[in-house]
Amino acid sequence: MTKFVPMVETLAGSWLALQCQMIPKIHRGAVYLGVNDKENPTATAYWPEGSDGSPALTAATRLVIDRKCPVLCGADETTDFDGSGSLNIACPIIVDGCFTGVVAVEVASPNEHQQRAIMQLLQWGSTWLEFLVRRESSSVTNSLMTAIRVVATCLEHGEFQAAATTTVTELATHLGCERVSIGFRERNHARVRAISNSAIFDKKTNLVRDLEAVMEEALAQGDAIVFPGAADSPLRVTAEHAAFAKNHGADSVCTIPLVDDGDGDLYGALVFERAKDRPFDDAALELCEVVASLLGPILELKRKDSRWIGAIVRDEVFTFLGRVFGRGHTGLKLALIVLAALIGYLSVATGEYRVTSKATLESIVQRVVVAPMDGFIASAATRAGDLVRAGEILARLEDKDLQLERAQWAGQREQLQTEYRQALAQRDRALTRVLNAQIVQTDAQLNLIDEKLLRTDLTAPFDGVIVWGDLSQQFGAPVERGQVLFEVAPLDAYRVVLQVDEREISSVRVGQTGQLALTALSGEAMDITVVKITPVSSAADGHNFFRVEARLEQPVAGLRPGMLGVGKVDIAERKLVAIWTYKLVNWWRLWLWSWWA
């Protein structure tokens, strides 16, 4: 196991604290240096300070030791992250191609974008630890402490411009430079964004233009440039550096490109200027490179976050186009080719455009059975859902009162008949006429009572099914004349009611055909024909629907009123792309028209 001096372990703890402060929703973190024992890795530093770590971090560390690559996992090495709870992210620390350690953090429920950002931040930050492990001397440690102070100063500011200006000013002070400038690549050109000890500067001055030329020269070569260089230094093109030193009195100039560790892209540069008595030696150059590698990603993130929405969209578009037409990203290119082929096919191929809507099965004729008179329920032989035949008794009303009334009128008639015969025997014509009229009146009352007795039996008007009405739990309950007791529908005459959305009603015409699929008979599609479009709409679920009536061409067995399903009306042959996008296009047209001046 590799041994590390106490100073390195102390600085690793400080680095971990700074790193964890930059990560939102973090629970804990740990750094493992010099770990070769997969089963029992020992942490060099924990965050928060004084904590004992967690089994989850240890499990993630074991995975990294085994795989030698970044890892994202749940509570242990066998659990994948499901989007809830905590996520453990661990990255290896590689120094000169050798596995040196692991940095692991536990974060609360990050989304995919936050996961990538945290992973990238740990990879960028590992450069710091790589430098610590590579150089354990006290001089390098002191220089690193300077870098830490500068990074801390940079992190104190939320806004990009303030952070950049303060950072380059701190660099100039701690590194003994006359001037430090930082620039970022924008639209394929380097642009100076901050100069030490200058809160405001004119971007059109010769100094700024020459600084940008110096940065472009370093970015074009992709490596650090020191002017004047040492005799044994690699050959570099330094024409712009020489011109800058001559025009602005810079005795020693060092330009460090800022490189994205992820894809190797160059996104900016730092320019350091020193007096003649303090040239940039190897140690100073190495320190400048380390500072640039630490500060560059932080300032680049702040710069991207400070852009306005138009610039963000533009940069994302350019980045996407670069991936499409540049090198690599084979999967993306194949996906775009497939998508383009699919769009081309949909633009040429045609299909049947259909209006789909909810459907309800109704009877064409529906008769009600009402109470013929005031009375009480005596019995009920049927209820809703029962099949009945014409004349079958559905229910019966109490007839005791009618029977008593009939007996009363029958007795009165017998009495009048006796008196009438006596009047005939006495030849009393006047009395005979009176009694005859009373007998006729009594007969009328008896006929009325007999008719009422016949109507106490409620019968089915035709063969069909009872769709509403259940008196089986209401024996003895009073009913009023005209009260609806049953609704009966035939079994051989149906119509289909479609609830068509108002956005599609303009396409529906009388005479169009279609298909109906009922929930109870989903395996059978029945042909329908539109026969009526009502001009009245109804609101439901936040939309307006029009009632469209259709005729069943060939009814099948088992149909019942009230069945629900889905109806599709055939409209016309259209392009597939038009069929799939017409709702979005219509919505866009209406929205654009509503906002058009």
Sequence spans of domains, the chain = 1-135, 137-327, 399-455, 495-572
Q: Do domains 1-135 and 137-327 have the same CATH topology?
A: yes
Q: Are 174 and 150 in contact (CB under 8 A)?
A: yes
Question: CA nearest 300: which of 182, 153, 148?
Answer: 182
The single-letter code of the amino acid at 157 is: H
The single-letter code of the amino acid at 94 is: I
- Residue with token string 């085994």: 66
Structure-token pair, residue 136: 């354990």
218/241 Cα distance (integer angstroms): 9
Q: Strands across the sheet with 26-33, in order?
A: 45-47, 26-33, 98-108, 86-95, 71-73
Structure-token pair, residue 207: 């100094």
Helices (H), 206-308: 206-221, 239-248, 282-305
Question: CA nearest 540: which of 304, 319, 358?
Answer: 358
CATH code for the domain defined by 495-572: 2.40.30.170
Is the domain covering 1-135 a CATH 2.60.120.10 domain?
Answer: no
Helices (H), 306-428: 309-325, 330-348, 400-425
Q: Strands across the sheet with 464-468, in order?
A: 367-370, 484-489, 464-468, 387-388
237/256 Cα distance (integer angstroms): 14
Give the pLDDT of residue 215: 92
Residue pLDDT tens, the chain, 597 long: 344 445 566 777 888 888 888 888 888 898 888 766 667 788 888 888 877 778 888 888 888 888 888 888 875 555 555 555 688 888 888 877 778 788 889 988 778 888 888 888 888 877 777 776 665 544 555 666 777 777 887 888 878 888 888 888 988 888 889 999 999 988 778 899 999 988 888 888 999 999 999 999 999 988 899 988 877 778 888 899 999 998 988 889 999 998 887 667 788 999 999 988 888 888 788 888 888 888 888 888 888 877 778 777 887 888 788 888 887 788 888 999 999 998 888 888 888 899 999 999 988 888 888 888 888 988 888 888 888 888 888 888 888 888 898 899 999 999 989 988 888 888 888 888 988 899 899 999 989 888 888 888 888 888 888 888 888 888 888 999 988 988 888 887 889 999 999 989 989 999 999 999 999 887 788 999 999 999 888 888 888 999 999 999 888 888 888 889 999 999 988 888 888 888 888 888 888 888 886
Please count the residues of the chain. Answer: 597
589, with CB counted inside 10 A (0-12, 13-18, 19+), is: exposed
Is the domain covering 137-327 a CATH 3.30.450.40 domain?
Answer: yes
What's the distance, CA 369 to chain centroid?
A: 53
